[in-house]
Amino acid sequence: MQLTAQLSSGAGAARDVRVLLLRDDLLICVAASGALDPAVPAACRVADRPSFEQAITSGEITGGPEIVVPVQADGVVVGLLVLGGGDALGEDERDTWLRLAGLLGFGISRAAIVDDLQQEAERSRGLERLKGEFLNIAAHELRSPLGIIRGYASMLSEGTLPETDRGTALARIAEKAEEMARLISDMLETARLETIGLELELEPVELLGVIDAALAEMRPLLGVDHRFPPVERSGAIAVVADRKRLTTMLTNLLDNAIKYSPGGGDIEVDCERDGRVARVQVRDHGIGINAEQAHMLFTRFGRLVTPETSHIRGTGLGLYLARETARLHGGDIHVTSTLGGGTTFTVVLPLA
């Protein structure tokens, strides 16, 4: 971008001007009249130019090899006008450059406001889309477990269910109620994450204890052909974490392993130290996925619908929340899978 306006000094000499905007500790040239002087590079650190640093610190015009006029927006220096020409500024010229700097600062301030408004508008549109997606989930995913609960409750209240089947009915009611509770919890956590973020209640946590709590919570949901083998223990492994959210993260991984191994089999959980991190692996021997599709697993509402998985209910929120939770703790989740050969999720967390 060329700055074509050149003002004349009282002596009649034209001044070149460069507009530098401040970004953190860098000054970046965004406009210049005339050739760019190598002494004023297109981008330079503030600390490398004493006259620039003085103008930014003081908010006053400084002299030297070049004349530096600070550009302020809302009382904060956001850039500089760097003037060539050599001669000192006369009173009228000084006022002119101060007015020009004020106009430039006003424009930058208004541009920042417009940018903030645009970001807020996009955020509002995103929340509207999120609300629509939640309503769609509620309409589809809650209907099935609620229907089963109402059906069994009706038979129990009317006495039409044989005595021998009542235990099974109560177990199914409890299972479907837990399914609904988990779904609602995932929706609320996602909404909280997207709006205000998740606040962690950090404390020293023994990781094997968290794994035991997650396994105990998910054991009633195991199919008759599933099994949780014992977790190998080689001493305490401590992390600093939010115990409740860490447990939820692991239950989401276990829930995924149960659902996507409909043929049953072992769902193995391993935990070990690896240098300065802890690794927790959740491994199933189920359907598996193509490596090319793995990146979709952790997207919000992301589900891989194939002929083998189309009958499996889910929202695509559990794995999304699991990875976001791991990242909030300074870790991450990785996945390896083979189509038809099972899937392994590896949680990496920094040690305490």
Q: β-strand 43-45 against 277-283: which pairing, if any?
A: unpaired
Q: What is the pLDDT of residue 314?
A: 59
Count of C-beta atoms within a 10 Å radius of residue 25? 12
Per-residue pLDDT of the chain (352 residues; tens, 9 = 90+): 333 344 333 334 567 888 888 888 888 887 777 655 555 567 788 888 888 888 888 888 887 668 889 999 888 888 888 887 666 777 888 888 888 888 888 888 887 777 777 777 777 777 677 676 666 667 666 777 888 888 889 888 888 888 888 888 898 888 888 878 878 888 778 777 777 677 888 999 999 999 999 999 898 888 789 999 999 887 889 999 999 999 999 999 998 899 888 889 999 999 999 999 999 999 999 988 877 777 778 877 666 666 565 556 656 788 888 999 999 999 999 999 888 889 999 999 999 8
Q: What is the pLDDT of residue 19?
A: 87
DSSP 315: -
Q: What is the pLDDT of residue 34?
A: 61
Structure-token pair, residue 236: 């305490």
The candidate with the shortest Cα–Cα distance to 239, out of 347, 86, 142, is 347
Instruction: Show the DSSP H helices in the chain as ranges.
Output: 50-58, 91-141, 143-158, 166-195, 207-218, 243-259, 318-328
Please provide residue 344's backbone torsions phi and psi, each rounded to the nearest 5 degrees.
Answer: -125, 125
> Which residues, including other chains, have CB under 8 Å from residue 168's CB and lie 6 or more apart?
none
- HEC string of 273-295? EECCEEEEEEECCCCCCCHHHHH
The pTM score is 0.56
Q: What is the pLDDT of residue 6?
A: 40
Q: What is the pLDDT of residue 147?
A: 84
DSSP 12: S
Q: What is the pLDDT of residue 82?
A: 86
The candidate with the shortest Cα–Cα distance to 24, out of 45, 48, 49, 51, is 45
Q: What is the pLDDT of residue 235?
A: 84
Count of C-beta atoms within a 10 Å radius of residue 41? 15
